[in-house]
């Protein structure tokens, strides 16, 4: 049960936020009452309508530290969709009442599991007009990760061959669609039960990783997007043609094959998505054109963030989990 210690929402100076005060599982989360932030120069105050849930959140919660080495308490959450409540000095992109979505402050935690957040205006873009806040909140981190890996890093375009691991996951299923929208031939690894879903998204070839070793059958790809890590790194190198690119979104350790990649004439690198107003606008355009849609695995109210994390930690969810305020 998620511990709740918050005031009534009638006090306009207070808000609810989900925080973690110690390492642990979903039981480490609680909802607290805290002061509503005020937007500083170049920032906007957003009334949160929905917040996306990402694997980084429960990995952070389990180990008790974050990428910067900071310690709890953490105000959790990266993705957000909501309505601009106020703007700070110097903001020209948005006005109060505008509906926006974004991934502010990443890789620092933005605290989007809350009623309000204040963050730099250029970490947001206008919400795609053809999706609601739940769908919009599920998009930013996963889609920007896929966009920055495939487009900005690997330069995927027409005629390129792309291998996407964990293709039915939060990042993977958006990466499949982005690669297809760029004109690429897409190969995905996923369990057989998810193949029909991925074919609907446009995947050209699918490999059941539980029955087949992709490294034995896939050859001459231009880019690999990896969300698995470990033994997948070295095996993925064997699928790349000279000059190809392996992008992993799993923080590398001493088994990351950087030297082997250089010897093979390919590039291997780690990516953590950054806030990107221009990238978000490109992604919003794909959503509005019907070329990109997000799969929602489940929706929970903010007060049931622990249940959302419990589901996420099973690693069986297809698509994204979202919290609503």
Sign of CA pseudo-dihedral 211, 231, 238, 195:
positive
Q: What are phi and psi of 236, to 5 degrees?
A: -65, -35
**Model pLDDT, residue 58:** 57
Same domain for 177 and 134: no
Residue 77 near residue 83, CB atoms below 8 Å: no
Q: Is the pLDDT of residue 301 over 90?
A: yes
End-to-end CA, the chain: 18
Q: What is the 3-state secondary structure (H, E, C) of the chain?
A: CCEEECCCCCCCCEEEEEEECCCCCHHHEEEEEEECCCCCCCEEEEEEEEEEECHHHHHHHHHCCCCCCCCCCEECCCCEEEEEEEECCCCCCCCCCCEEEECCCCCCCCCCCECEEEEEHHHEEECCCCCCHHHHHCCHHHHHHHHHHHHHHCCCCCCCEEEECCCCCHHHHHHHHHHHHCCCEEEEECCHHHHHHHHHHCCCEEECCCCCCHHHHCCCEEEEEECCCCHHHHHHHCCEEEEEEEEECCCCCCCCCHHHHHHHCCEEEECCCCCCHHHHHHHHHHHHCCCCCCCEEEEEEHHHHHHHHHHHHCCCCCCEEEEEC
Residue 70 near residue 150, CB atoms below 8 Å: no
User: 238: domain range?
Assistant: 142-270
Give 90's strand partners. Answer: none
**Model pLDDT, residue 6:** 46
Same domain for 35 and 160: no
Same domain for 113 and 80: yes
Instruction: Express each pLDDT in 206-218 by its tens digit.
Output: 999 999 999 999 9
Domain contains 47: yes
Higher per-residue pLDDT: 310 or 316: 310
Q: What is the CATH number of the domain that holds 195?
A: 3.40.50.720
Give 141's strand partners. Answer: none
Minimum mean pLDDT among 45-59, 97-111, 116-130: which range? Answer: 45-59
Counting Cβ atoms within 10 Å, is residue 168 exposed (0-12), middle (13-18) or buried (19+)?
A: buried
**Model pLDDT, residue 62:** 46
**Model pLDDT, residue 248:** 97
Instruction: Express each pLDDT in 219-271 by its tens digit.
Output: 999 999 999 999 999 999 999 999 999 999 999 999 999 999 999 999 999 99
- Count the domains in the chain: 2
Same domain for 22 and 120: yes
Quick one: tokens of 231? 């033994």
Q: Which residues, at least 6 apart from 76, have a Cβ–Cβ distance to it below 8 Å?
A: 18, 19, 20, 29, 57, 60, 61, 109, 111, 112, 113, 305
Same domain for 134 and 150: no
Same domain for 112 and 168: no
Same domain for 167 and 227: yes
Give 299's strand partners. Answer: 322
Same domain for 256 and 308: no
Domain contains 197: yes
Q: What is the CATH number of the domain that holds 81?
A: 3.90.180.10
Residue 57 near residue 325, CB atoms below 8 Å: no
Minimum mean pLDDT among 6-10, 97-101, 105-109, 199-203: which range? Answer: 6-10
259, 263, 266, 269: CA torsion to nearest 10: 10
Token match 């069986």: residue? 316
Same domain for 130 and 154: no
Same domain for 150 and 125: no
Q: Quickly count: other Cβ atoms within 10 Å of residue 198's Cβ.
A: 23
pTM of the model: 0.91
Sign of CA pseudo-dihedral 171, 176, 178, 182:
positive
């Amino acid at each position: 049960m998620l511990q709740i210690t918050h005031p009534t929402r009638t006090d306009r100076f207070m808000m609810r936020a989900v925080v973690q005060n110690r390492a642990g599982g979903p039981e480490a989360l609680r909802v607290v009452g805290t002061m509503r932030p005020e937007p500083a120069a170049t920032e906007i105050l957003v009334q949160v309508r929905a917040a996306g849930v990402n694997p980084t959140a429960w990995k952070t919660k389990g180990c008790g530290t974050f990428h910067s080495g900071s310690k709890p308490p953490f105000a959790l959450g990266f993705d957000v969709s909501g309505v601009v409540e106020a703007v700070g000095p110097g903001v020209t992109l948005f006005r109060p009442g505008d509906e926006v979505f974004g991934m502010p402050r990443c890789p620092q935690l933005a605290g989007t599991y809350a009623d309000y957040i204040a963050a730099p205006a250029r970490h947001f873009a206008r919400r795609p007009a053809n999706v609601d806040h739940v769908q919009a909140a599920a998009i930013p981190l996963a889609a920007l990760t896929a966009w920055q890996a495939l487009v900005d890093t690997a330069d995927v375009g027409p005629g390129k061959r792309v291998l996407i691991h964990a293709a039915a996951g939060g990042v993977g299923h958006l990466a499949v669609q982005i690669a297809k929208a760029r004109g690429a031939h897409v190969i995905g690894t996923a369990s057989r039960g998810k193949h029909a879903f991925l074919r609907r998204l446009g995947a050209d070839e699918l490999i059941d990783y539980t029955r087949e070793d992709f490294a034995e059958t896939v050859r001459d790809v231009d880019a690999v997007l990896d969300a698995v890590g470990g033994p997948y790194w070295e095996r993925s190198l064997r699928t790349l043609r000279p000059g190809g690119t392996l992008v992993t979104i799993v923080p590398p350790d001493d088994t990351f094959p950087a030297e082997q990649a250089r010897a093979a004439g390919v590039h291997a690198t780690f990516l953590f998505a950054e806030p990107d107003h221009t990238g978000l606008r490109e992604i919003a355009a794909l959503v509005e054109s019907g070329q990109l849609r997000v799969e929602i695995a489940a929706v929970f109210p903010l007060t049931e963030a622990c249940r959302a994390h419990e589901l996420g930690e099973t690693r069986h969810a297809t698509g994204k989990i979202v919290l609503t305020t």
